[in-house]
Structure formats: structure tokens, C-alpha cells
Amino acid sequence: MAPVPSAEDTARDLFDRVLGDEEASHLEPLPESVLLEAVEEGARHAAAAEAMTSHAEIAPAIRFL
Amino acid sequence: MAAPTSSLSILAWTSDAVLNGLGRGTQAHYLVDYVERLAEIERGWPIAIAIEGHYVDRHYLDDFQHYYARSFHMPDSACRRWHFFARTTPADLEAELQASFADPSRVAATSASLESRYLGFLVQRPLSGAPVGRTVLRTYPVDGRRHYCVVRPYVVHVAGHRLRIDGLAYQQQDRGAAVCASTAVWSALQRVAHVTGQRTPTPSAITRASGSPFPTSAGLDVRQMAEAISRLGYGVDAFYPRHNRALFRSHVVAYLDSNLPVILMMTRKRPGAGGQIVDGHAIVVTGYSEPRPATTVATDMTGVPPIALHGSDADVLYVHDDNLGSHARYELYASHEWEDGFLKLEVLRGRSNAPKVPWWRQDVWSVFAAIVAKPLKLRKGVEQSFHDTVALRPLVQRFFPIDFTYARRFTSGAEYQRGLLESGDVDRTSIPKLMLSTRFSRHIGVIRALRRPGSPTLDVVVDATEVEREPILPRVTAIVAHGIPVNSPGAPRARQLADFLGCPLVLGKALEAATPAQRDDHE
């Protein structure tokens, strides 16, 4: 079984080498369904984070002096 | 000194001269310690002091007009101002000034020479017990870890010479016109007013704007501090460490990276005869020491995976504390003790590994909240920038399956464009579109994905003047991918991401093709 590349290996492969012409001709864009799924996931995460937001917390009347 | 500078006296630095002149309080001791370290006195470098015997300080004068002029024991309305110069003796400083008085061709060189050695100034108020008025001191040199994020330039005139110093004004509370809460707001607004082109309000003006019906010495609560900031024409943000201390730390660092001071509201409980007494104290965070590489922050939000955030481990802060002094080094740590149902986030007012000094007793406070004064049209807060980050992360990860650390900050659209224009890291062919055809809002949020500290892969630039009404994704202005070279395999993915978000893209500078030797080496 081939080893799973680490995040650093993936980063090096994506950003630290020149894209060859032949490789470029075979690149496929990510399907739109994958992107829409990511947007939905992000929206769920943002809503969950917003639910935990503390700006509505009532400041107790401690006096700072 | 001779007639031309009759009101300016020049003397040699001795700690006793300063302490005797300023009343030997804690703030005077701190100032002596700070200036001596700054000037590296231990290496034998001399310091000269120049004192203006009569100085009219706008801030003190306003306090005088609204409070002291109506006191039964009325103090003087004028102050003295102390200037500190490193690496010079009084004789050399005086000779340098006299030479510039005699020869106009020497003025510019003398001003530059004085400015290079200028450590800052202190306004000495005629108030016994609270002499340390508006004080601006240079910060320690940035050594790669220290970030003093919220300084601003001040222009100072000494004997006709115009000197510039970068710092942030500090002063001791006097309890008549201001206490720690109003003094903290005053220091914070020094920076924010400068950014927005407004005149800095005086301590008295802040106290009046708070709407507190009580005497100044009764202090202000959080709501009154926010009220003061708002009535003076600024926006306010507030956030709390309670349920997520790591997230709170990263929020503090995000504001500091946005060059906005953070006012930390701290509390401490002590036993009283009739029960527990809660003391409150406010300090202004002006910078931080670069934390260790970010650890992953548990979001404690159902369904939201942990996220690595810049600043979540920040444990050394530089603060203005009106009990002590400016840019004091304090430590932030996560306590194992519980308070009101939450684990405490505590501040040690001092340095845990430094020898004790007789003039300051270190103590520990619990962080209760943070408030930030910001430009009025910067409507997004740091929590919304976090929501934007978690909303965008799944999309970024689909294109780049890498465990990024995310750093957040706010800046102005114009500043960001200017930075890009000067950047040597980006592909210049996409710059014209971004400069000529892209509308940047006045304030923007920058969500930066980093592969490792100091190595940004991409910035997602969002509008920060508006909070989204339907927050599916934030409104993205541009993607700037410094770390994705235009000819790398990441570039087509970045293009698809930008197309999907409907925004322009700037890629990183092209990689040079590897030489045959490099290829062999790689293989």
C-alpha cells in the first residue's frame, strides 16, 4: 500500500515545484458538487460558531478603577 | 543654561535625580528601570535629561479646566516636561544645541542626531501623588519575537528642533479626572484617533462621555467604557475568555495584528468582612511576544473541527498599566482553577523569571473581558472574522488539503493595496487588475492561511465594513496567494477557487525552473 503523503509533502508538491506542461494538460478542476458541499459545510460551521458568540453576554456591574 | 534656552535645563541622568523629581512612586521607579534598560546604561552609555520648566499640556489643561480649577486646593495649571536622550552627556547635548543655534546649516543634522538618540518624554503634572502625566517612550528594539503593534508617531519640539518618536501615550491615573478605566480608554484612543485622523480626546472628555453619574474615583463599568468610546465617535467590540481561552488569546492577537489596542478588563476577589469583594482593573495591551507555533484550538462548537489559530498560545503581553508604566511585560496563563463555571485565564502582572524589585509587588488577576475601540466603519468584530474563517476553511481545504494555521487581522483597503504594490513576492501581471478594477472597502478583513509561521500561502480578503445578512460565505474582495507561485501545480486550483468565489486573484512570483543539477539532486 502506498504511504499517505503528509500535509507538508502535499504542500511541497503543490507550491514548491514547477508545473510541467504535460501535467497541466491532465489537470481536472474540482467538481462543482464538491465545492457546493464545502460551502454548506462552512455555513454550518459558521452558524455553530455564531451560536457560541459571547457578545450578548451581560457585563456585570464590576467597577474598574 | 544660557539665555536662548533659559526655560530648558539640561542635566545628567541619575536615578535619584529622576526619582526625587517625580516623587519616588511606583511609576517613577518603573520609568527609571525602563529608560535605563532602553539606553543600555549597564554598558556605560550616558543619558542626558532636558527639562522644559513650563509646559502647557492639552490633556492636563482640560483636566484642570474641568476638575482641578474648581478644587479648594487648586494645583498649578502648567506642567514640566522631561526629555530623555541616550548616548550623550549634558555637555555634549548642550554643545550640539548651541552649535545649531549659531549655524543654520547645522540645524537639520542636529535634529536628525537628536532624534536618533531620543528616548521619549514625560509630562510632569503639578499633582502630588500622581505626577506622571502624558508619557511617550520608545519601545525596546524588535528582536523577531517582540511585536509592539499599536505605536504611532508623535512630533515633539525641543529647543526649536522637531523630533519624531514612535510610541503610545501612557499616564498614571489621578483619580480626580480619570481612573484606570478612563486612562485605558485614553491610551487606546491615542492610536485609534491617529488612524482615523481625529484629535485624541483628553481623560476628562472620556470620563464625561462615559455618562457615569458617579464621581470619577468610583470608576467605570464595561458598559460605561463602551459608552464613552461610542459617544466619542468610535466603534466598540467586546469579547470574553470564558468558554474558550485559546480562542480569546487569538482574538487579542488578531486585534493587535490589526494595530488596534486591546483593553483587558481584569478582576480579583478578596475576602471582606461582609463577604467577597471583587476588584476590577483595566490595562491596555500594546503588543505581544511571538508565541510558539499555533496549536490546534478546540472550537467547543458542535460539528466544528479544531482549528489552528495564530496567537492562541500567546503568553507574553506588553501592556500600559497605569499602576506601573508603559509597555510592561506581563504574562498570560491558563489556570486550573474554576471561577463562575469557567476555567480562569489569568494575568501575572510581572515576569515570572525576573528577580523581584522592592517597588513593585507582582500579583495575579483573572481576565474577565476585552474591549476594543475601533474605527466606526469597521463594523465586523473579531468574532465575525472567526466565523468567516470557519466558513471559508472547508472550501480552502478542498483545494489545498493542508493543515493551515489561520491568522486574522483588519486593515484598510488602501493600506493592503499599498502593501501589495510594494511586495516583491507576487506575480506582477495580476497587479493592474487588482489596482484598477477591484473595489476595496475602507476596512477589510484578512484571513491568512499559513503553511508554517511566517510562510503565508494565501490571504482571503473580505469586506469588513458590513456584517453579512445571509452569512453563507463572507463577501470576498480578492485572493492574494503569495505562497502559490504562478507556475506551480497550486496555481490552477487557486484560479478555480477565485473563479468560484467571483473575485480577482493574485498569485505568487514564478518559481524558477529547476536546473538539471537540482533535478538530479532531488531525484
CB contact under 8 A, A65 and B492: no
* pLDDT at A24 (0 to 100): 85
H-assigned helices in B357-486: 382-399, 413-422, 431-436
* Reported ipTM: 0.91
Using DSSP bridges, classify how beta strands B325-339 and B316-321 pair: parallel, antiparallel or unpaired.
antiparallel
Summarize the confidence of residues B270-286 as an average pLDDT: 93
* pLDDT at B343 (0 to 100): 87
Q: Which of B278, B397, B511 sits opposite A18 (nearest CB)?
A: B511
d(CA B189, CA B166): 15
Contact A54/B at CB under 8 A: yes
How would residue A60 be classed by pLDDT, with cut points 50, 70 and 90? low
* pLDDT at B301 (0 to 100): 76
d(CA B321, CA B360): 12
Contact A24/B at CB under 8 A: yes
* pLDDT at A65 (0 to 100): 84
* pLDDT at B520 (0 to 100): 54
CB contact under 8 A, B492 and A27: yes
Q: Which of B399, B402, B491 sits opposite A7 (nearest CB)?
A: B402
* pLDDT at A54 (0 to 100): 58
Contact A44/B at CB under 8 A: yes
CB contact under 8 A, A57 and B240: yes
CB contact under 8 A, B471 and A47: yes
Summarize the confidence of residues B22-32 as an average pLDDT: 96
Q: What is the CA radius of gyration of chain A?
A: 23
The per-type count for chain B, helices as H runs and strands as E runs, is 14, 22
| Model confidence pLDDT, tens digit, residues B409-418 | 999 999 999 9
Q: Which residues of B touch A34 (CB under 8 A)?
A: 398
Residue B490: partners with Cβ closer than 8 Å, 6 or more residues away = A14, A15, B400, B481, B484
CB contact under 8 A, A45 and B393: yes
Does A1 score more than 80 pLDDT? no
The half-sphere exposure of B136 on its side-chain side, counting CA atoms within 13 A, is 19
Q: How high is the mean pLDDT of chain B?
A: 92
Contact A26/B at CB under 8 A: no
Q: What percent of chain B has pLDDT over 90?
A: 80
Q: Which of A8, A44, A64 sits opposite B221 (nearest CB)?
A: A64
CA neighbor of B312 nearest in space, from B405, B243, B446, B396: B405
Query: Which residue type occupies B508?
Result: G
* pLDDT at B252 (0 to 100): 97
CB contact under 8 A, A16 and B492: no
* pLDDT at B143 (0 to 100): 73
Phi, psi of B219 (to 5 degrees): 80, 180
d(CA B90, CA B12): 6
* pLDDT at B49 (0 to 100): 97
Lowest mean pLDDT among B170-174, B248-252, B288-292, B426-430: B288-292
| Model confidence pLDDT, tens digit, residues B385-400 | 999 999 999 999 999 9
Q: Which residues of B touch A59 (CB under 8 A)?
A: 221-223, 238, 369
Sheet containing B307-309: order of strands = B296-297, B307-309, B405-412, B443-452, B455-463, B476-485, B505-508
* pLDDT at B452 (0 to 100): 84
| Model confidence pLDDT, tens digit, residues B131-147 | 999 999 999 887 778 88
| Helix or strand run (H / E) with residue B118 | strand B118-124
Contact A48/B at CB under 8 A: yes
| Model confidence pLDDT, tens digit, residues B156-195 | 999 999 999 999 999 999 888 889 999 999 999 999 999 9
A2 vs chain B: nearest CA distance in angstroms?
A: 18
Q: Could you tell me which residue, B384 or B1, shows the higher pLDDT? A: B384
Does B364 score more than 70 pLDDT? yes
Q: Which of A15, A42, A62 sits opposite B391 (nearest CB)?
A: A42
B119 vs chain A: nearest CA distance in angstroms?
A: 30
> A–B: how many Cβ contacts below 8 A?
171
* pLDDT at B91 (0 to 100): 97
Determine how many CB atoms are found less than 10 A away from the CB of residue B411: 19
SS3 at position B1: coil
Q: Which of B219, B239, B472 sits opposite A65 (nearest CB)?
A: B219
Q: Which residues of A touch B301 (CB under 8 A)?
A: 45, 48-49, 51-52
CB contact under 8 A, A54 and B222: no
Residue B77: partners with Cβ closer than 8 Å, 6 or more residues away = B56, B61, B64, B68, B69
Does B353 score more than 70 pLDDT? yes
CB contact under 8 A, B390 and A62: no
Determine how many CB atoms are found less than 10 A away from the CB of residue B42: 8
Does B298 score more than 80 pLDDT? no
Summarize the confidence of residues B458-481 as an average pLDDT: 89
For the record, the C-alpha cell of A16 comes out as 514548491
> How open is the CA angle B383-B251-B242, to the nearest 5 degrees?
80
Strand partners, B481: B507
Strand partners, B10: B50
Instruction: Give pTM, 2 decimals.
Output: 0.94
CB contact under 8 A, B489 and A45: no
CB contact under 8 A, A48 and B219: no
Q: Which residues of B touch A22 (CB under 8 A)?
A: none
CA end-to-end span of chain B, whole Å?
75
How would residue B2 be classed by pLDDT, with cut points 50, 70 and 90? very low
Does B516 score more than 60 pLDDT? no
Residue B443: partners with Cβ closer than 8 Å, 6 or more residues away = B375, B377, B378, B379, B380, B410, B411, B412, B413, B464, B465
Q: Which residues of B touch A54 (CB under 8 A)?
A: 239-240, 242-243, 383
Angle between helices B15-22 and B26-38 (to 10 degrees): 150
| Chain A: residue whose CA lies nearest to B269 | A62
* pLDDT at B5 (0 to 100): 45
B431-449 b/e (C-beta count within 10 Å ≥ 16 → b): eeebeeeeebbebbbbbbb
CA neighbor of B450 nearest in space, from B247, B293, B303, B253: B293
How far is the CA of B155 from the CAs of B56, B81, B111, B223, B500, in angstroms?
Answer: 15, 14, 12, 34, 48
